[in-house]
């Protein structure tokens, strides 16, 4: 708008100088010719003013669009931050469960060691077990108990191993998701910085 005003002042000065020059020459100036020049200057100034106003409107719209984009990116950053915080809590919970599971595994291992010692101290030979047994039912019970204890030990060991592996995989997934969210947040921060510099 200021440029349009400057152009108007310059045009008036140029026209005024032409008029002075024309009258200084002593040549009468044609009023129709003067009117045509004035109309031409008015049209050109109107066009320049309209262009300046259009440029100003376009700049205003660009600034509003930029501000809207910044708000969107800031919202995405906030969402990424919230997701990271949530994943941090999930990872901490997974680590806590892993610790509890590791303690449970250690307790079961201790029980299995005790059971193994008891089985080791028990006679190896079926004849010795038969001789120590008070009856056939007692013999069958002792052999059955040893078999059941061995089977339970194997099941417990395998179950705990699977539980621990599943828990570790879950934590690894959460950590990978967190890494992705951190990358997303960093990219969004970079995008926001670029928008702010525009």
* pLDDT tens, position by position, 95-126: 898 898 888 888 877 887 777 676 666 555 65
Structural domain tally of the chain?
1
Q: What is the mean pLDDT of residues 65-82?
A: 91
Q: What is the mean pLDDT of residues 45-55?
A: 76
> Rounded to whole angstroms, how far apart are CA atoms 159 and 105?
10
Q: Are 119 and 85 in contact (CB under 8 A)?
A: no
Q: Are 19 and 29 in contact (CB under 8 A)?
A: yes
Kindly report the CATH number assigned to the domain that includes residue 109.
1.10.287
- pLDDT bucket at 183, cuts 50 / 70 / 90: very high
Question: Higher pLDDT residue, 143 or 161?
Answer: 161
pTM (2 decimals)? 0.55
> Rounded to whole angstroms, how far apart are CA atoms 164 and 106?
12
Q: Which domain holds residue 159?
A: 2-197
Backbone φ and ψ of 57, nearest 5° = -65, -40
């Amino acid at each position: 708008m200021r440029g349009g005003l400057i152009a108007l002042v310059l045009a008036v000065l140029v026209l005024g100088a032409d008029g002075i020059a024309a009258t200084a020459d002593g040549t009468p100036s044609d009023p129709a010719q003067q009117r045509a020049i004035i109309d031409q200057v008015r049209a050109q100034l109107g066009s320049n003013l309209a262009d300046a106003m259009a440029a100003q409107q376009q700049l205003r719209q660009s600034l509003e669009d930029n501000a809207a984009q910044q708000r969107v990116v800031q919202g995405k950053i906030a969402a990424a931050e919230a997701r990271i915080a949530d994943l941090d809590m999930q990872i901490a919970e997974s680590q806590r469960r892993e610790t509890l599971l590791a303690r449970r595994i250690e307790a079961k291992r201790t029980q299995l060691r005790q059971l193994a010692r008891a089985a080791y101290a028990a006679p190896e030979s079926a004849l010795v077990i038969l001789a120590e047994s008070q009856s056939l039912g007692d013999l069958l019970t002792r052999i059955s108990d040893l078999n059941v204890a061995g089977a339970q030990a194997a099941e417990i060991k395998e179950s705990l191993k699977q539980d621990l592996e599943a828990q570790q995989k879950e934590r690894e997934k959460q950590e990978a998701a967190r890494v992705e969210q951190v990358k997303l947040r960093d990219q969004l921060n970079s995008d926001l910085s670029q928008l702010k510099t525009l």
